[in-house]
Amino acid sequence: MSGLNLAQQEAVNFMHGPCLVLAGAGSGKTRVITHKIARLMQGGLEAKRIAAITFTNKAAAEMRERAKSLVGRQAKDVLVCTFHALGVRMMRQDGSVLGLKPQFSILDSDDVTGILKDAGGTTDAATARQWQWTISGWKNGGLNAAQALAQAKDENERVIATVMARYEERLTAYQSVDFDDLIGLPLKLLRDFPEVREKWQKAVGHVLIDEYQDTNATQYELLKLLVGEHGRFTAVGDDDQSIYGWRGATLDNLRRLPVDYPTLKVIKLEQNYRSTSAILRAANNVIQPNPKLFPKTLFSELGEGEPVRVVDCDSEEHEAERMAARILSIRGGSAAVASGAGVHKDWKDFAILYRANHQSRTIEQAMRKAQIPYKVSGGQSFFDRAEIRDLCAWLRLWVNNDDDPAFLRCVTTPKRGIGHQTLGSLGSFASQYKLSLFEALFSPSLPSVLNARALGSLQEFGRYVNDLEFRARHTVGAEDARTFLGEWLKEIGYEKHLYDGEDNEKVAAARWTNVLDFCDWMAKRCGGEIDDAAGVATQNERKNVLEVAQTIALLSTISDREKDRDVVTLSTLHASKGLEWPHVVLAGCVEGMLPFKPEDAEGGVVSESFAQRLQEERRLMYVGITRAQRSLVVSWSKKRKKGRELVPAMPSRFIAEMALDTRTAREDPREKLKALRAEFAQKSAEAAAAAAAAATPGAA
C-alpha cells in the first residue's frame, strides 16, 4: 500500500461487494486498478478469475505492464482487455450456440459501409455511412432490425430499419460480425443461454472496469449479467470526463448503479497528482455549472504554479504563430528561466489541443514555418487506411489461406462478380463441414450447393491466390518485388477500383499514392534495406515477398514508433483524453467551435437536447484543461473561418467560467518581447566573449 493515499487505499481494500471509484482527472485511477488486482490475488482469488476491462488496447497494455511490475509473472493470467476483445473471446468459445463458427470474421468500418451500400441499393457512400451511424446507435441501444422498425419515428427510419434487416442477413451469410456485435452478441449469449451465463459467472470472480463513464447501455447490461446479482465488480470512472455521448456512452449507467446495487460503495479520489493548483482551480470552476451525480473537487499538493493565461489573437493564422512563438520561448534558455517556466529540452513536453481535426491545418503551417517538429494525433494511422488494409488482406491470404476475414475482403475487393448469395452458400457449406472458406472452394461436395457459374468464379479466384502465393515465394529482392507487386495490382485492377469508388478524383489519387508508397516500402523490405521489426535502414539479407508478408502483423509497430519521437503533439480534445503534457495550449476557444455550434439554440431558447450537448462540451473543456501539468494557455481569435468566409468570433463562454484572475490571466506581448530581447542580448554577449577568448593567444 506504500505510495497510496487514504482514499486510494480504501478503494483497493474494499473487495466484498460492488464498488464505484470516482476518479478525478490525474488522481491515480490506473494505480488503484493495478493495486486492486494485486490485493484480490493476495486475498486468494486466482489471477485467471480476475478481469480488467478497458476501452483501448493502449490502456490495456499499460495496465498489464503495471500489474506485472506489482505481482510478477502471475499477472499474465489476469484477463486485461478491451470490451470488444472480451466479446471476441466469449464468442470464439461459445458463439456456436448462435450459429457462429469459431473463426468468424470481424468487419471493419469500411467493410460495413460496402455491405450497407449493397443492402440498400445505393452507390452513395455518404448515405451508407449515415445508415451505419443510425444502425450502430440502435445496436448500442440493444435493438435489432425488427425492434428498430417497430419504433421507427418516420419514413427515413423505416427505410434504415429495412436496410438493417438485409444487413443482418448478409452478416449471417458471411459468418461475420461488426464491432457493435462484439458487445451485442455476447449480451445475447449471457441473456438467452443460462448454461453459458453460469459458465462465465463462475469463470470470472471479480471485474474491474476502467473509464466506466464511457460505457453504453449494451455494455452495462453485459456487465450486469457477467458479474451476477452479487455485483463482484469495481467500476472506476469520472462523470466529469464523459465526452463520448455521440457514440452511445451514457451517464445513465452511473445513475443506475446505486439503484441496481443498493449496497454500492462509493469512493472519491480527489487528490490530483498531475497539475498545479492554478490549473485545477480553472478546471473546477469550468465544470461547476454542470449538474453533479457525485459532487467532488480536485485539489493538488504540487503548489500554485504559473497562472493560467488567456491569449486573444487577430486571426487563426496569428493565433498559430503565437503558439509557435510560445513553444520556442519556453523551450529556450534565459527568457524561459526569467519567466519562471523553466528550461525544457524536449519538444514532446508541449501539446496544442483543439476541438476539430480541420483546425490543425493552420497550426501545422505555423509549426513548419518555425521549424518545430510535430505529429498530429487522433488522425487515421497509415495502416488503418482502407486501401492499405485491402493490400494487407491479400498478403495475409497468401501466407495463410485459412484466414477467413482476409478471404472475404480479397474476394470482394475489387469486385469480381461473386455476390453475397454465393458467399452465403459458401459460408454455410464451410461451417457445416468445419472448413475454412478457402478450403471449401475445392471440396468435391461444393458443386451440390452452387451452380456451375458461381463455382467456376470461386475456383478461379482460389487458383489465382495459389498462383500469387507461388510467385510471391519466388520473388526475391527490391526490384523484382516492385515489379511483381505492380503486376499484381494491375491484374486485379486496383487503381480502377479506387477511382470507381470515389466521387472526388483527388481523394482517389491520394489513396493510389498511398498504395504505391506501401508497395515501395514492401519492396525495400525485400531488398534488406529496412529491418522487419524496427522499420529502420539496415543491411539485412534479401527476402522473398512471402517472407516479408509473413511479418505483416509487425506492420502496425511502424506507426507505434511515433509515440517515442521528440515532437510537439497536435491533437483533438477527444484524442487527448488519458494523456498529459507539461505545457498545453487550448486553441480555437471561440463560440461556435468550443462549445460546438451554440447557434443551434435558436431565438435564445436553449432546448433540452442542446443543454445536454452543452454539458458534454463543458466536460470536453474540462478534459482539455486537466491535460496540463505545469502551464496552460487558452487561446482564441477575433475572427475565424466559416466555410470560405471570415466571420467575427467571440471568446468561448468557458473562458469566463474559468473565473481567472484578470491581473495575471492576460499575457502581455510587450513583456514577452522584453524577455526575448534580453535573451538575445545575453546570447550576443556570450558569443562576443567566446570570440574574444578564442582570439586571445594561448587561450584554452
Block residue for cell numbers 556570450: 686
Task: Report strand pairing: 271-272 vs 299-300.
Answer: parallel
For residue 540, give the nearest of 481, 477, 479, 480 by alpha carbon. Answer: 477
CB atoms inside a 10 Å sphere around CB 575: 16
CA distances from 108 to 48, 136, 393, 405 (A): 30, 13, 12, 10
Q: Which residues contact 522 (CB under 8 A, 6 or more apart)?
A: 481, 485, 545, 548
| pLDDT confidence of residue 409 | 87
Sign for the pseudo-dihedral over CA of 627, 633, 634, 635: negative
| pLDDT confidence of residue 67 | 87
Q: Which residues of the chain have pLDDT under 70?
A: 1, 103, 333-345, 378-382, 530-540, 551-564, 598-608, 662-681, 683, 696-700
Residues 8, 29, 403, 615: which is the catalytic one? 29
Is the peptide bond preceding residue 18 cis, with omega within 30 degrees of 0? no
| pLDDT confidence of residue 683 | 67
User: What is the DSSP secondary-structure string of 125-145?
Assistant: HHHHHHHHHHHHHHHHTT--H
DSSP secondary structure letter of residue 667: -
For residue 326, give the nearest of 305, 351, 304 by alpha carbon. Answer: 351
Q: What CA–CA distance (Å, rounded) separates 20 from 222?
A: 17
Helix (H, G, I), strand (E, B) or coil at 460: helix
Q: What CA–CA distance (Å, rounded) separates 538 from 620?
A: 44
Q: What CA–CA distance (Å, rounded) separates 403 from 396?
A: 7
CA distances from 298 to 7, 27, 98, 254, 467 (A): 13, 8, 47, 19, 64
The backbone region for 592, taken as left when phi is positive above 0, alpha when psi lies in -120 to 50, beta otherwise, is: left
Note whether 553 and 601 are within 8 A (CB): no
CB atoms inside a 10 Å sphere around CB 690: 10
Q: What is the dihedral of CA 365, 368, 372, 374, to 10 degrees?
A: 70
Residues 627, 630, 640, 653: which is the catalytic one? 627
| pLDDT confidence of residue 203 | 93
Residues 111, 178, 181, 211: which is the catalytic one? 211
Note whether 378 and 575 are within 8 A (CB): yes
Note whether 172 and 105 are within 8 A (CB): no
Note whether 294 and 22 are within 8 A (CB): yes
Q: What CA–CA distance (Å, rounded) separates 176 from 187?
A: 17
| pLDDT confidence of residue 663 | 62
Task: Report the topology of domain 299-373+566-667.
Answer: Rossmann fold (3.40.50)
Give the CATH H-level superfamily of domain 6-92+184-269: P-loop containing nucleotide triphosphate hydrolases (3.40.50.300)
Q: Is 30 one of the catalytic residues? A: yes
Note whether 89 and 116 are within 8 A (CB): no
CATH number, span 108-174: 1.10.10.160
Q: Is 29 one of the catalytic residues? A: yes
For residue 266, give the nearest of 295, 230, 298 by alpha carbon. Answer: 295
Q: Is 103 one of the catalytic residues? A: no
| pLDDT confidence of residue 588 | 93
Which strands make up the sheet holding 350-354, listed edge to edge? 309-313, 628-637, 581-586, 350-354, 568-572, 374-377
How do residues 289-308 score in pLDDT, each as one tens digit? 999 888 899 999 999 999 99
Q: What CA–CA distance (Å, rounded) separates 59 from 644?
A: 40
Q: Is 64 one of the catalytic residues? A: no
| pLDDT confidence of residue 231 | 87
For residue 358, give the nearest of 634, 570, 170, 78 by alpha carbon. Answer: 570
Please provide the distance, in angstroms rounded to a whole number, between the alpha carbons at the two ends of the chain: 56
Q: What CA–CA distance (Å, rounded) separates 612 from 290?
A: 9
CA distances from 607 to 240, 598, 612, 614, 617 (A): 21, 11, 9, 10, 15
User: What is the DSSP secondary-structure string of 188-205?
Assistant: HHHHH-HHHHHHHHHH-S
Q: What CA–CA distance (Å, rounded) separates 167 from 135?
A: 10
Task: Report strand pairing: 581-586 vs 350-354.
Answer: parallel
CB atoms inside a 10 Å sphere around CB 196: 21
Residues 8, 82, 241, 422: which is the catalytic one? 241
CATH class of 383-561: mainly alpha
User: What is the DSSP secondary-structure string of 371-389?
Assistant: T--EEEESS--GGGSHHHH
How do residues 70-124 score in pLDDT, each as one tens digit? 888 888 889 998 898 899 899 989 999 998 877 677 777 777 888 898 889 888 8
User: What is the DSSP secondary-structure string of 291-356?
Assistant: --SS----EESS---SPPEEEEESSHHHHHHHHHHHHHHHHSSHHHHHTTS-----GGGEEEEESS
Residues 210, 319, 403, 616: which is the catalytic one? 210
CA distances from 320 to 325, 367, 657 (A): 9, 8, 24
Q: What is the pTM of this model?
A: 0.74
Q: For residue 315, which amino acid is it?
A: S
Alpha helices in 141-272 (DSSP H): 145-151, 155-174, 181-192, 194-203, 217-227, 252-260
Alpha helices in 474-572 (DSSP H): 478-492, 494-500, 505-526, 545-549, 555-560
Q: What CA–CA distance (Å, rounded) separates 138 from 145?
A: 8
Note whether 495 and 514 are within 8 A (CB): no
Q: What CA–CA distance (Å, rounded) separates 172 from 176?
A: 6
